[in-house]
Amino acid sequence: MIRSRTHAIAPVDLWRSVRSLPDFWRLLLVRITSQFGDGLFQAGLAGALLFNPDRATDPVSIARAFAVLFLPYSLLGPFAGALMDRWDRRLVLVGANVGRLAFIAAVGSILALGAGDVLLLCGALLANGLARFVNSGLSASLPHVVPREQVVTMNSVAIASGAISAFLGANFMFVLRLIVGERDSGASVVIFTAAVPVLIALALSLRFAPRALGPDDTKRAIHGSVVYAVITGWVHGVRTVVQLPSVGAALSGLAAHRMVVGINSLIILLLVHHLGGGETEGLGTAVMFFAATGLGAFLANVLTPGLIRRWGRYATANWALTAAAAIQLAAVGLQLPVMVVCGFLLGLAGQVVKLCADSAMQIDVDDALRGHVFAVQDALFWVAFIAAVAVAAIAIPDDGRAPWFVFFGSVVYAAGLVVHTLVGRRSNSTATGLSGGNDGGSGSNSR
């Protein structure tokens, strides 16, 4: 692993630190191009499924689309995560991007032919699953190309860069949609365009030397056949989370945040469908809300390293969850301008929790098990989201006016705070290293 004494604070120093780590710079370029394609693909798919005159939308159909797109891979992810801790992660990135290209082409063809939702969702499921596999591989690989004392800072750089790229990709879709139209034929053009950045990400992945991204063959590496490693993926991933309170605490807070994101996303999508200005105005309002959320998440990527250095991961996540519970209450009135502002603030608070979880896994988890744990996080991330959407779809009316569910979101945040506090105290009392080195905050601040 490359070692450096550079401690980035000012933007110029941070840029120099990034460029002084050549493998991290290459990994960052893969993330930027990959997530631009992912943002373009996901936004194009959302437009095709949810804001398309050729296809109807109601709470149940939205929930079904989310479930088909995200739930199957979320349940299988920890098994696939075992492969990231066994195979050369460079080859995993290459293979996953090749698969993404194939399924993106399939989805674009399905839209061009005007086929039904079942084929479209199946193709999108596979493309989306491989995209998330790429993202998990990038996160698990980061500690291999960054000195330990810079993991938190460089992870924030990577996440921020990816978020900006995904945001630009999503908004590029909006521009394309205005040119090619909002029906299936136009959506197919958007999807085919998403193959270009993915192809670039594939080419960039080939630039890494073999084994440059790990995994290490440490004492905790899972030996035996590939079949054994995959079948036991859940077991090793979950057991590692249970054994490390710092990781378990962070994931509990992240699960609470994702449940609220699911509730709010469904409410917003239903509210904008009843604006009365047509599909284009509804999509524009939805884009504004999710863009505000993304902007808040970007700001969190900038602020979180400093917050963790000052207070430690445990206290930082606690404060973020407390703030999120209060912010959620402000959206009870279901006024769209207020909800956009709340979306920005919740994006900030939620991303702080996410970055605390990422740094816990990148610092506290053995490299031989890191892919397992990131896959467990990915499963929890989307299962929590989908479960909340499914429950909300049953109770929320078609026009999305359900202020009681917004209030329930605040209760969920409070529950996540309680669990995070109780589990995190175990980590502090056993001194498992929540500080995470120079970037993780001092030991006293972690308590």
pLDDT confidence band for 225 (50 / 70 / 90): low
Which one-letter amino acid corresponds to residue 226?
A: V
Poorest-pLDDT segment among 154-163, 320-329, 346-355: 154-163
Given a cut of 70, whether residue 130 has pLDDT beyond it is: yes
CB atoms under 10 Å from CB of 6, counted, come to 16
Query: E-strand spans in 257-366?
Result: none
Q: Could you tell me which of 127, 445, 122, 146 has the C-alpha nearest to residue 315?
A: 445
Most confident of 55-64, 169-178, 348-357: 348-357
Poorest-pLDDT segment among 243-252, 347-356, 419-428: 419-428
Poorest-pLDDT segment among 98-107, 373-382, 384-393: 373-382
Residue 2 confidence (pLDDT): 40
Q: Is pLDDT larger for residue 28 or for residue 364?
A: 28
Which one-letter amino acid corresponds to residue 61?
A: S
Residues of the chain with pLDDT > 90, as a percent, come to 34
CB 170, CB 36: distance < 8 Å: no
Q: Could you tell me which of 382, 360, 376 has the C-alpha nearest to residue 434?
A: 360
pLDDT confidence band for 410 (50 / 70 / 90): very high
* Residues shown for the chain: 447
pTM: 0.71
Q: Which two tokens stand for residue 177?
A: 């949609």
Query: Taking all residues of the chain, what is their mean pLDDT, rounded to a whole number?
Result: 83
pLDDT confidence band for 17 (50 / 70 / 90): confident
Poorest-pLDDT segment among 204-208, 242-246, 262-266, 270-274: 270-274
pLDDT digits (tens, 9 = 90+) for 31-44: 999 999 999 998 88
Cis peptide before 215 (omega within 30 of 0): yes
SS3 content of the chain, % helix, strand, coil (to 5): 80, 0, 20
pLDDT confidence band for 25 (50 / 70 / 90): very high
pLDDT confidence band for 5 (50 / 70 / 90): very low
Residue 119 confidence (pLDDT): 85
Q: Which CATH class is domain 23-208+222-446?
A: mainly alpha
How confident is the model over 40-49, as a mean pLDDT? 86
How confident is the model over 141-147, as a mean pLDDT? 89
pLDDT digits (tens, 9 = 90+) for 103-120: 999 999 999 987 777 788
